[in-house]
Amino acid sequence: MPFSAGVLNPTYIPDTMDYVNYYRSLAGLPAELNHADDNTHAQIGVAALAAVNATKDLKVHGLLGYTRPFYFNEDDWNTAENSTLGNVNFLESNNGATAGDIVTDLIREDNNIAGKGNIGHRALILSARATRMGIGAAYGNGVSNNVLYSVQNGWFADDILRDPVVDTMVYPSRRVFPYELVGKKTPWSFSTTKKITGTPKIYITDMTTKKRYRATQVRNFGTTFYGDGYTTTITYQPGKTKLVTTHKYKVKIGKYYTYTFRFFRQKGHLK
């Protein structure tokens, strides 16, 4: 059985990169490039995930514990191991998902299997070091496995060694932010190139109603996302804050950072 990684719908990759770069622009980050070779490697990665019926756990990153199928040569398997170190998304669906659905699911981090508050996918999309990304997607066998696997191959040795282009990344981002990018389970986050120990008190003020709330579930992930350019990442939940479109909010993260933003509604559907 000859191996073929498959070919994506021609609009899927540019649509994905449009969303990645739109979300990066909201955070004040430069756009990432997209190269054919990186897409090929990402597609080999998702083909490998589909071939082994990969399950939803952290071992998919690098295909840890999975055996190379006989129709994968060693070079392709090595490529798959490397490309799956980036973002991997699982979607159980018979109808598929749009590029926008997948990127939005990853950046919201409502259900990261690495644990509550972990924003590893978001940190990669909003990396302060990354300059490029490869995109791949493939279905399981459709019989016992109807999972749509997707890979955002964004870990490259030359990028990891670059200096961060920003010293702070916040989510929700400064100024204006799409209301659709937050939900009841969505962790908010503050990433910085500075070292911070402990968990600061975080307050969110609805400047429209003049009401202040204290953030909950504050976690300091330290240097976990250093490869993305951040020496410290702190995540939290907005607690009892009422999230209302068009309202303006102020976030105060201890003595370290204070900023404001206003929610707005995006128009149209994710493509």
Residue ranges per structural domain of the chain: 12-160, 168-264
Confidence grade of residue 149 (pLDDT, cut at 50, 70, 90): confident
Listed residue (71, 43, 44, 48) closest to 59, CA to CA: 48
CATH topology classification for 12-160: Pathogenesis-related Protein p14a (3.40.33)
* Res. 2: pLDDT tops 60: no
Count of C-beta atoms within a 10 Å radius of residue 146? 14
The confidence band for 95, taking pLDDT boundaries of 50, 70 and 90, is low
DSSP letter string over 23-92? HHHHTT-PPPB--HHHHHHHHHHHHHHHHTT--SSGGGTTTTTPPPPTTS-HHHHHHHHHHTTSEEEEEE
pLDDT of residue 222: 97
189 or 95: whose pLDDT is higher? 189
Half-sphere exposure of 56 (CA within 13 A, CB side): 14
- Strand pairing category for 257-264 and 175-178: parallel
* pLDDT score at 8: 72
Residues 93-111 as b or e (16 or more Cβ within 10 Å = b): eeeebbbbbbbbbbbbbee
CATH number listed for the domain at residues 168-264: 2.60.40.1220
Residue 266's pLDDT is what? Answer: 87
What pLDDT score was predicted for residue 57?
86
Which residue type occupies 7?
A: V
- Cα separation, 193 vs 256, in Å, equals 12
Q: What is the pLDDT of residues 151-198, one digit of tens each?
A: 998 888 889 889 999 999 999 999 999 999 999 899 999 999 999 999
Full-model pTM: 0.91
CA–CA separation, 268 vs 271, rounded Å? 9
Cis preceding linkage at 238, omega within 30: no
> What one-character DSSP code corresponds to residue 131?
-
pLDDT of 259 > 90? The answer is yes
Tell me what pLDDT residue 9 has. Answer: 77
pLDDT confidence of 240, banded at 50, 70, 90? very high
pLDDT of residue 96: 64
pLDDT digits (tens, 9 = 90+) for 25-72: 999 999 999 999 999 999 999 999 998 989 888 888 999 999 999 999
* pLDDT higher than threshold 50 for residue 1: no
Q: Residue 86 — pLDDT band, cuts 50, 70, 90? A: confident
What pLDDT is recorded for position 140? 76
Contacts of 139 (CB under 8 A, 6+ apart): 50, 146, 147, 148, 149
